[in-house]
Structure 1
Amino acid sequence: MTAAELKQHPGYEKWTTLSHSDILPFVQEEFGRRGWLTRFYLLLNLAMLLLMILMAVWQVTHGLIGTGRVVMNTVLGFVLTLSLLVPVHEGIHGIAYKLVGAPRVQFGSDIRKFIFYAMADHFVIGFPRFAFVALSPFFIINFFAAGAVFYVSLNYQWILLGVLLMHTGACAGDFAMLSFFLRHRNEGLLTYDDVAEHTSYFFRKKRAEMRAEP
Protein backbone atom coordinates (compact mmCIF):
# COMPACT_ATOMS: atom_id res chain seq x y z
CA MET A 1 0.00 0.00 0.00
CA THR A 2 1.33 3.44 -0.92
CA ALA A 3 1.03 6.52 1.27
CA ALA A 4 -1.51 7.99 -1.15
CA GLU A 5 -3.60 4.81 -1.01
CA LEU A 6 -3.40 4.76 2.78
CA LYS A 7 -4.73 8.32 3.00
CA GLN A 8 -7.75 7.32 0.92
CA HIS A 9 -8.28 3.88 2.44
CA PRO A 10 -11.81 3.60 3.88
CA GLY A 11 -10.64 1.32 6.68
CA TYR A 12 -7.92 3.60 8.06
CA GLU A 13 -7.80 7.03 9.64
CA LYS A 14 -4.93 9.39 10.31
CA TRP A 15 -4.33 9.18 14.02
CA THR A 16 -1.23 11.09 15.09
CA THR A 17 2.05 12.57 13.88
CA LEU A 18 5.59 12.76 15.21
CA SER A 19 7.83 15.65 14.25
CA HIS A 20 11.40 14.45 13.98
CA SER A 21 12.44 17.38 16.17
CA ASP A 22 10.32 15.83 18.94
CA ILE A 23 11.90 12.38 18.91
CA LEU A 24 13.67 12.86 22.26
CA PRO A 25 10.49 13.87 24.17
CA PHE A 26 8.67 10.98 22.46
CA VAL A 27 11.31 8.51 23.67
CA GLN A 28 11.20 9.93 27.20
CA GLU A 29 7.41 9.71 27.28
CA GLU A 30 7.38 6.14 26.01
CA PHE A 31 9.88 5.01 28.64
CA GLY A 32 7.80 6.81 31.25
CA ARG A 33 4.86 4.54 30.41
CA ARG A 34 6.84 1.50 31.61
CA GLY A 35 5.61 -0.97 29.01
CA TRP A 36 6.99 -4.49 29.21
CA LEU A 37 9.45 -3.92 26.36
CA THR A 38 10.92 -0.74 27.81
CA ARG A 39 11.15 -2.40 31.24
CA PHE A 40 12.97 -5.34 29.66
CA TYR A 41 15.30 -2.95 27.85
CA LEU A 42 16.15 -1.06 31.05
CA LEU A 43 16.75 -4.32 32.92
CA LEU A 44 18.98 -5.52 30.09
CA ASN A 45 21.11 -2.40 30.37
CA LEU A 46 21.30 -2.76 34.14
CA ALA A 47 22.21 -6.45 33.89
CA MET A 48 24.99 -5.69 31.42
CA LEU A 49 26.37 -2.96 33.67
CA LEU A 50 26.31 -5.18 36.76
CA LEU A 51 27.96 -8.05 34.87
CA MET A 52 30.73 -5.74 33.69
CA ILE A 53 31.29 -4.46 37.24
CA LEU A 54 31.50 -8.00 38.60
CA MET A 55 33.91 -9.00 35.82
CA ALA A 56 36.07 -5.95 36.48
CA VAL A 57 36.21 -6.59 40.23
CA TRP A 58 37.15 -10.23 39.71
CA GLN A 59 39.82 -9.49 37.11
CA VAL A 60 41.36 -6.61 39.07
CA THR A 61 41.45 -8.50 42.37
CA HIS A 62 43.13 -11.43 40.62
CA GLY A 63 45.74 -9.18 39.05
CA LEU A 64 44.66 -9.82 35.48
CA ILE A 65 44.19 -6.16 34.59
CA GLY A 66 44.43 -2.77 36.27
CA THR A 67 41.47 -0.61 37.23
CA GLY A 68 42.74 2.27 35.10
CA ARG A 69 42.98 0.04 32.05
CA VAL A 70 39.42 -1.22 32.54
CA VAL A 71 38.07 2.31 32.80
CA MET A 72 40.13 3.68 29.92
CA ASN A 73 39.29 0.87 27.51
CA THR A 74 35.60 0.93 28.42
CA VAL A 75 35.47 4.67 27.78
CA LEU A 76 37.28 4.08 24.48
CA GLY A 77 34.48 1.65 23.58
CA PHE A 78 31.96 4.38 24.39
CA VAL A 79 33.78 6.85 22.14
CA LEU A 80 33.99 4.37 19.26
CA THR A 81 30.26 3.69 19.55
CA LEU A 82 29.32 7.36 19.52
CA SER A 83 31.55 8.10 16.54
CA LEU A 84 32.41 5.27 14.17
CA LEU A 85 29.40 3.07 14.92
CA VAL A 86 26.75 5.76 14.44
CA PRO A 87 26.89 5.60 10.61
CA VAL A 88 27.13 1.79 10.79
CA HIS A 89 24.03 1.63 12.99
CA GLU A 90 22.03 3.91 10.71
CA GLY A 91 23.37 2.15 7.63
CA ILE A 92 22.00 -1.14 8.94
CA HIS A 93 18.62 0.54 9.42
CA GLY A 94 18.86 1.67 5.80
CA ILE A 95 19.71 -1.81 4.53
CA ALA A 96 16.85 -3.27 6.58
CA TYR A 97 14.47 -0.74 5.04
CA LYS A 98 15.65 -1.82 1.59
CA LEU A 99 15.16 -5.48 2.46
CA VAL A 100 11.51 -4.88 3.39
CA GLY A 101 10.87 -3.04 0.14
CA ALA A 102 11.61 0.66 0.65
CA PRO A 103 12.56 2.18 -2.74
CA ARG A 104 14.78 4.88 -1.23
CA VAL A 105 16.25 5.61 2.18
CA GLN A 106 17.49 8.91 3.56
CA PHE A 107 19.15 9.85 6.82
CA GLY A 108 18.60 12.70 9.24
CA SER A 109 20.01 13.97 12.51
CA ASP A 110 19.64 16.49 15.30
CA ILE A 111 23.25 17.06 16.30
CA ARG A 112 22.34 19.22 19.29
CA LYS A 113 20.40 16.31 20.81
CA PHE A 114 22.75 13.68 19.32
CA ILE A 115 19.84 11.99 17.55
CA PHE A 116 20.25 10.16 14.24
CA TYR A 117 17.63 8.34 12.20
CA ALA A 118 16.92 6.62 8.89
CA MET A 119 13.83 7.53 6.85
CA ALA A 120 12.04 5.85 3.96
CA ASP A 121 10.11 8.67 2.31
CA HIS A 122 6.37 7.85 1.99
CA PHE A 123 7.05 4.14 2.46
CA VAL A 124 4.17 2.58 4.41
CA ILE A 125 5.21 0.07 7.03
CA GLY A 126 3.42 -1.91 9.73
CA PHE A 127 4.56 -3.64 12.90
CA PRO A 128 6.27 -6.82 11.61
CA ARG A 129 8.47 -5.04 9.08
CA PHE A 130 9.06 -2.11 11.42
CA ALA A 131 10.28 -4.49 14.13
CA PHE A 132 12.80 -5.93 11.66
CA VAL A 133 14.03 -2.46 10.70
CA ALA A 134 14.17 -1.21 14.29
CA LEU A 135 16.00 -4.17 15.82
CA SER A 136 18.44 -5.07 13.03
CA PRO A 137 21.29 -2.79 14.26
CA PHE A 138 20.82 -3.91 17.86
CA PHE A 139 21.14 -7.59 17.02
CA ILE A 140 23.80 -7.35 14.31
CA ILE A 141 26.24 -4.99 16.04
CA ASN A 142 25.81 -6.57 19.47
CA PHE A 143 26.15 -10.07 18.04
CA PHE A 144 29.49 -9.33 16.41
CA ALA A 145 30.78 -7.31 19.37
CA ALA A 146 29.82 -10.02 21.86
CA GLY A 147 31.24 -12.77 19.66
CA ALA A 148 34.54 -10.95 19.19
CA VAL A 149 35.01 -10.73 22.98
CA PHE A 150 36.00 -14.41 23.01
CA TYR A 151 38.73 -13.98 20.39
CA VAL A 152 40.70 -10.96 21.59
CA SER A 153 43.01 -10.14 24.49
CA LEU A 154 41.74 -8.82 27.81
CA ASN A 155 42.52 -5.20 26.92
CA TYR A 156 40.46 -5.37 23.73
CA GLN A 157 37.69 -7.24 25.52
CA TRP A 158 37.00 -4.15 27.61
CA ILE A 159 36.83 -1.98 24.51
CA LEU A 160 34.25 -4.36 23.07
CA LEU A 161 32.33 -4.49 26.35
CA GLY A 162 32.24 -0.69 26.31
CA VAL A 163 30.87 -0.87 22.77
CA LEU A 164 28.22 -3.38 23.87
CA LEU A 165 27.07 -1.30 26.81
CA MET A 166 27.01 2.02 24.98
CA HIS A 167 25.43 0.64 21.81
CA THR A 168 22.70 -1.09 23.78
CA GLY A 169 22.02 2.20 25.55
CA ALA A 170 22.04 4.05 22.23
CA CYS A 171 19.23 1.82 20.94
CA ALA A 172 16.73 3.49 23.29
CA GLY A 173 14.93 5.24 20.44
CA ASP A 174 14.47 2.01 18.51
CA PHE A 175 13.03 0.25 21.55
CA ALA A 176 10.79 3.21 22.39
CA MET A 177 9.26 3.25 18.91
CA LEU A 178 8.82 -0.51 18.96
CA SER A 179 7.17 -0.25 22.38
CA PHE A 180 4.79 2.34 20.94
CA PHE A 181 3.80 -0.08 18.17
CA LEU A 182 3.30 -2.88 20.69
CA ARG A 183 1.04 -0.77 22.91
CA HIS A 184 -1.19 -0.11 19.92
CA ARG A 185 -0.78 -3.48 18.20
CA ASN A 186 -4.53 -4.14 18.25
CA GLU A 187 -5.18 -0.96 16.28
CA GLY A 188 -3.38 -2.11 13.14
CA LEU A 189 -0.93 0.79 13.07
CA LEU A 190 0.69 1.81 9.80
CA THR A 191 3.23 4.60 9.46
CA TYR A 192 5.28 6.44 6.89
CA ASP A 193 7.86 9.24 6.91
CA ASP A 194 7.49 12.51 5.06
CA VAL A 195 11.09 13.59 4.57
CA ALA A 196 10.24 17.06 3.29
CA GLU A 197 8.12 17.77 6.37
CA HIS A 198 10.46 15.94 8.79
CA THR A 199 7.40 14.17 10.15
CA SER A 200 6.17 10.61 10.65
CA TYR A 201 2.47 9.95 10.13
CA PHE A 202 0.58 7.21 11.94
CA PHE A 203 -2.67 5.68 10.73
CA ARG A 204 -4.86 3.17 12.53
CA LYS A 205 -7.86 1.08 11.63
CA LYS A 206 -11.13 2.89 12.07
CA ARG A 207 -12.89 1.84 15.24
CA ALA A 208 -15.87 0.43 13.35
CA GLU A 209 -13.46 -1.78 11.41
CA MET A 210 -11.81 -2.99 14.64
CA ARG A 211 -15.17 -3.83 16.24
CA ALA A 212 -16.21 -5.78 13.18
CA GLU A 213 -13.19 -8.08 13.40
CA PRO A 214 -13.82 -11.46 15.10
Structure 2
Amino acid sequence: MQIKPEELDNNGYVLIDSLGHKELIPFVRTYLKKRTKISSFYTVSNIIIVVAIIFCFWQNYGIDDFSLGSGITYFTYGMAIAFGLIPLHEFIHVLAYKSQGAEKTSYGANLKKFHFMAIADKFVANKKEFQVVALAPFVVISIILGILLFFVSNLWDFTILGILLTHTAFSSGDFGLLSYFEFNNDREIVTYDDKENSISYFYGKIK
Protein backbone atom coordinates (compact mmCIF):
# COMPACT_ATOMS: atom_id res chain seq x y z
CA MET A 1 0.00 0.00 0.00
CA GLN A 2 1.10 3.53 -0.68
CA ILE A 3 0.56 4.57 2.92
CA LYS A 4 2.89 4.99 5.89
CA PRO A 5 2.17 3.66 9.40
CA GLU A 6 1.83 7.17 10.81
CA GLU A 7 -0.84 7.94 8.23
CA LEU A 8 -3.15 5.07 9.19
CA ASP A 9 -5.09 6.96 11.87
CA ASN A 10 -5.88 9.83 9.51
CA ASN A 11 -7.17 7.34 6.92
CA GLY A 12 -9.76 5.81 9.21
CA TYR A 13 -7.77 2.83 10.50
CA VAL A 14 -7.68 1.92 14.17
CA LEU A 15 -5.30 -0.42 15.95
CA ILE A 16 -7.02 -3.74 16.69
CA ASP A 17 -4.12 -6.06 17.52
CA SER A 18 -0.40 -6.08 18.14
CA LEU A 19 1.67 -9.23 17.95
CA GLY A 20 5.01 -9.52 19.70
CA HIS A 21 7.19 -11.72 17.56
CA LYS A 22 7.99 -13.90 20.56
CA GLU A 23 4.27 -14.67 20.84
CA LEU A 24 3.86 -15.75 17.23
CA ILE A 25 3.21 -19.45 17.90
CA PRO A 26 0.22 -19.10 20.28
CA PHE A 27 -1.25 -16.41 18.00
CA VAL A 28 -0.98 -18.72 14.98
CA ARG A 29 -2.45 -21.68 16.86
CA THR A 30 -5.43 -19.59 17.93
CA TYR A 31 -6.36 -18.60 14.38
CA LEU A 32 -5.64 -21.97 12.81
CA LYS A 33 -8.32 -23.31 15.15
CA LYS A 34 -10.86 -20.78 13.88
CA ARG A 35 -13.36 -22.00 11.30
CA THR A 36 -12.11 -20.12 8.27
CA LYS A 37 -11.64 -21.20 4.68
CA ILE A 38 -7.88 -20.79 4.91
CA SER A 39 -7.59 -22.92 8.08
CA SER A 40 -9.79 -25.57 6.42
CA PHE A 41 -7.59 -25.49 3.32
CA TYR A 42 -4.50 -25.95 5.50
CA THR A 43 -6.06 -28.92 7.30
CA VAL A 44 -7.17 -30.54 4.04
CA SER A 45 -3.69 -30.02 2.55
CA ASN A 46 -2.12 -31.93 5.43
CA ILE A 47 -4.69 -34.70 5.15
CA ILE A 48 -4.05 -35.07 1.41
CA ILE A 49 -0.30 -35.38 2.00
CA VAL A 50 -0.80 -37.99 4.74
CA VAL A 51 -3.14 -39.97 2.47
CA ALA A 52 -0.54 -39.77 -0.31
CA ILE A 53 2.10 -41.14 2.07
CA ILE A 54 -0.15 -44.04 3.11
CA PHE A 55 -0.96 -44.74 -0.54
CA CYS A 56 2.74 -44.71 -1.39
CA PHE A 57 3.45 -47.34 1.26
CA TRP A 58 0.50 -49.43 0.06
CA GLN A 59 1.54 -49.13 -3.59
CA ASN A 60 5.08 -50.29 -2.85
CA TYR A 61 4.10 -53.10 -0.48
CA GLY A 62 5.16 -56.43 -1.85
CA ILE A 63 7.76 -55.07 -4.27
CA ASP A 64 10.93 -57.14 -3.84
CA ASP A 65 13.38 -54.32 -3.12
CA PHE A 66 10.99 -52.42 -0.85
CA SER A 67 10.59 -52.69 2.91
CA LEU A 68 8.77 -50.64 5.53
CA GLY A 69 12.14 -49.69 7.01
CA SER A 70 13.49 -48.37 3.74
CA GLY A 71 10.35 -46.32 3.14
CA ILE A 72 10.60 -44.77 6.60
CA THR A 73 14.32 -44.09 6.11
CA TYR A 74 13.76 -42.22 2.85
CA PHE A 75 10.83 -40.37 4.42
CA THR A 76 13.07 -39.12 7.24
CA TYR A 77 15.57 -37.95 4.63
CA GLY A 78 12.81 -35.70 3.37
CA MET A 79 12.07 -34.35 6.83
CA ALA A 80 15.74 -33.49 7.28
CA ILE A 81 15.96 -31.81 3.87
CA ALA A 82 12.91 -29.68 4.74
CA PHE A 83 14.91 -28.04 7.54
CA GLY A 84 17.47 -27.02 4.93
CA LEU A 85 14.70 -25.32 2.94
CA ILE A 86 13.94 -22.83 5.72
CA PRO A 87 16.32 -20.16 4.34
CA LEU A 88 14.77 -20.60 0.88
CA HIS A 89 11.28 -20.32 2.38
CA GLU A 90 12.12 -17.01 4.06
CA PHE A 91 13.97 -15.75 0.99
CA ILE A 92 10.84 -16.30 -1.10
CA HIS A 93 8.87 -14.31 1.50
CA VAL A 94 11.33 -11.44 1.10
CA LEU A 95 11.11 -11.58 -2.69
CA ALA A 96 7.32 -11.50 -2.40
CA TYR A 97 7.50 -8.51 -0.06
CA LYS A 98 9.72 -6.68 -2.53
CA SER A 99 7.32 -7.52 -5.37
CA GLN A 100 4.60 -5.71 -3.39
CA GLY A 101 6.73 -2.62 -2.86
CA ALA A 102 8.56 -3.22 0.43
CA GLU A 103 12.02 -1.69 0.59
CA LYS A 104 13.39 -2.47 4.06
CA THR A 105 13.33 -6.26 4.35
CA SER A 106 15.19 -8.54 6.74
CA TYR A 107 14.93 -11.82 8.60
CA GLY A 108 14.06 -12.73 12.17
CA ALA A 109 14.42 -15.94 14.14
CA ASN A 110 13.65 -17.33 17.57
CA LEU A 111 15.80 -20.44 17.81
CA LYS A 112 14.46 -21.32 21.27
CA LYS A 113 10.90 -21.57 19.93
CA PHE A 114 12.10 -22.57 16.47
CA HIS A 115 10.27 -20.06 14.35
CA PHE A 116 11.60 -17.87 11.57
CA MET A 117 10.13 -14.90 9.79
CA ALA A 118 10.69 -12.40 7.02
CA ILE A 119 10.26 -8.80 8.12
CA ALA A 120 9.30 -5.76 6.05
CA ASP A 121 9.97 -2.87 8.40
CA LYS A 122 7.22 -0.19 8.35
CA PHE A 123 5.72 -1.55 5.12
CA VAL A 124 1.93 -1.43 5.35
CA ALA A 125 0.38 -4.40 3.57
CA ASN A 126 -3.31 -4.92 2.88
CA LYS A 127 -4.99 -8.33 2.70
CA LYS A 128 -4.26 -8.92 -0.98
CA GLU A 129 -0.60 -7.97 -0.64
CA PHE A 130 -0.17 -10.06 2.49
CA GLN A 131 -1.76 -13.07 0.79
CA VAL A 132 0.91 -12.90 -1.91
CA VAL A 133 3.67 -12.69 0.70
CA ALA A 134 2.29 -15.44 2.94
CA LEU A 135 1.43 -17.97 0.25
CA ALA A 136 4.45 -17.52 -2.05
CA PRO A 137 6.82 -20.04 -0.36
CA PHE A 138 4.12 -22.68 0.14
CA VAL A 139 2.92 -22.43 -3.46
CA VAL A 140 6.36 -22.29 -5.10
CA ILE A 141 7.95 -25.09 -3.09
CA SER A 142 4.83 -27.33 -3.19
CA ILE A 143 4.59 -27.02 -6.98
CA ILE A 144 8.27 -27.87 -7.42
CA LEU A 145 7.95 -30.90 -5.12
CA GLY A 146 4.77 -32.01 -6.88
CA ILE A 147 6.55 -31.93 -10.24
CA LEU A 148 9.52 -33.84 -8.84
CA LEU A 149 7.22 -36.69 -7.81
CA PHE A 150 6.85 -37.56 -11.50
CA PHE A 151 10.60 -37.82 -12.04
CA VAL A 152 11.96 -39.78 -9.06
CA SER A 153 12.08 -43.48 -8.28
CA ASN A 154 9.73 -45.16 -5.81
CA LEU A 155 11.84 -44.75 -2.68
CA TRP A 156 12.58 -41.11 -3.44
CA ASP A 157 8.81 -40.54 -3.55
CA PHE A 158 8.92 -40.96 0.22
CA THR A 159 11.65 -38.33 0.46
CA ILE A 160 9.63 -35.83 -1.58
CA LEU A 161 6.53 -36.51 0.51
CA GLY A 162 8.59 -36.13 3.68
CA ILE A 163 9.76 -32.72 2.50
CA LEU A 164 6.23 -31.75 1.51
CA LEU A 165 4.66 -32.75 4.83
CA THR A 166 7.35 -31.07 6.92
CA HIS A 167 7.42 -27.91 4.83
CA THR A 168 3.64 -27.67 5.07
CA ALA A 169 3.98 -27.90 8.84
CA PHE A 170 6.58 -25.13 8.73
CA SER A 171 4.07 -23.01 6.78
CA SER A 172 1.54 -23.07 9.63
CA GLY A 173 2.50 -19.55 10.68
CA ASP A 174 1.69 -18.18 7.25
CA PHE A 175 -1.70 -19.88 7.22
CA GLY A 176 -2.46 -18.80 10.78
CA LEU A 177 -1.87 -15.16 9.88
CA LEU A 178 -4.00 -15.51 6.75
CA SER A 179 -6.74 -17.05 8.89
CA TYR A 180 -6.56 -13.96 11.11
CA PHE A 181 -7.27 -11.75 8.09
CA GLU A 182 -10.22 -13.92 7.08
CA PHE A 183 -11.60 -14.13 10.63
CA ASN A 184 -11.70 -10.32 10.68
CA ASN A 185 -13.23 -10.12 7.22
CA ASP A 186 -15.80 -7.55 8.38
CA ARG A 187 -12.96 -5.04 8.50
CA GLU A 188 -10.38 -3.88 6.02
CA ILE A 189 -7.25 -5.20 7.73
CA VAL A 190 -3.74 -3.92 7.11
CA THR A 191 -0.53 -4.86 8.88
CA TYR A 192 3.05 -3.73 9.24
CA ASP A 193 6.17 -4.84 11.08
CA ASP A 194 8.12 -2.78 13.60
CA LYS A 195 11.54 -4.39 13.42
CA GLU A 196 13.09 -2.36 16.23
CA ASN A 197 10.49 -3.43 18.77
CA SER A 198 9.83 -6.90 17.26
CA ILE A 199 6.11 -6.25 16.93
CA SER A 200 3.61 -6.61 14.09
CA TYR A 201 0.62 -4.30 14.18
CA PHE A 202 -2.82 -4.94 12.74
CA TYR A 203 -5.09 -2.03 11.90
CA GLY A 204 -8.62 -2.17 10.59
CA LYS A 205 -11.52 -0.06 9.49
CA ILE A 206 -15.14 -0.95 8.89
CA LYS A 207 -15.78 -1.76 5.25
Same fold (TM over 0.5): yes
Q: Alpha-carbon deviation of 1:32?
A: 2.3
Q: Alpha-carbon deviation of 1:10?
A: 4.2
Which residue number corresponds to residue 164 of structure 1?
164
Which residue number corresponds to residue 143 of structure 2?
143
Which consecutive residues of structure 2, in runs of 5 or more, have no partner in the other structure? none
Could you tell me whether the CA contact under 8 Å between 1:194 and 1:200 is conserved in 2?
A: yes
Report the aligned-residue RMSD: 1.3
Which residue number corresponds to residue 112 of structure 1?
112
SS in structure 2 opposite 1:201?
strand
Which residue number corresponds to residue 52 of structure 2?
51
CA distances 1:87-120 after superposition (whole Å, capped 9, x unpaired)? 0000000000000000121110111111000010
Instruction: Give the counterpart letter for 1:193 in structure 2.
Output: D
Which residue number corresponds to residue 79 of structure 1?
80
Q: Alpha-carbon deviation of 1:155?
A: 2.6
Measure the CA separation in 1 of the matches of 2:172 and 2:53: 20
Which residue number corresponds to residue 154 of structure 1?
154
Q: Alpha-carbon deviation of 1:40?
A: 2.3
Q: Alpha-carbon deviation of 1:184?
A: 1.3
SS in structure 2 opposite 1:138?
helix
Structure 1 runs of 4+ aligned residues shifted over 3 Å read none
Higher mean C-alpha deviation, range 87-96 or range 61-70 = 61-70
1:63-212 alignment to 2 at 5 Å? 63=64, 65-82=66-83, 84-205=84-205, 207=206, 210=207
Measure the CA separation in 1 of the matches of 2:55 and 2:13: 51
Identify the structure with the greater helix proportion: 1
CA distances 1:132-164 after superposition (whole Å, capped 9, x unpaired)? 000000010011111011112223222111111
Superposition TM-score, scaled by structure 2 size? 0.94
Distance 1:21 1:13, change over 3 A: same
Which residue number corresponds to residue 24 of structure 1?
25
CA distances 1:30-73 after superposition (whole Å, capped 9, x unpaired)? 12223232122112201210221122122122335221111011
Instruction: Give the counterpart letter for 2:166 in structure 1.
Output: M
Do residues 2 (structure 1) and 4 (structure 2) align?
yes
SS in structure 2 opposite 1:61?
coil
Could you tell me whether the CA contact under 8 Å between 2:34 and 2:183 is conserved in 1?
A: no
Superposition TM-score, scaled by structure 1 size? 0.91
Give the total of aligned pairs: 205
SS in structure 2 opposite 1:112?
coil
Which residue number corresponds to residue 12 of structure 1?
13
Instruction: Give the counterpart letter for 2:150 in structure 1.
Output: F
Which consecutive residues of structure 1, in runs of 5 or more, have no partner in the other structure? none
Could you tell me whether the CA contact under 8 Å between 1:127 and 1:185 is conserved in 2?
A: no
SS in structure 2 opposite 1:193?
strand
Measure the CA separation in 1 of the matches of 2:111 and 2:198: 15
Measure the CA separation in 2 of the matches of 1:55 and 1:152: 13
Higher mean C-alpha deviation, range 135-144 or range 179-188 = 179-188
% identical equivalent positions: 32
Measure the CA separation in 1 of the matches of 2:26 and 2:195: 20
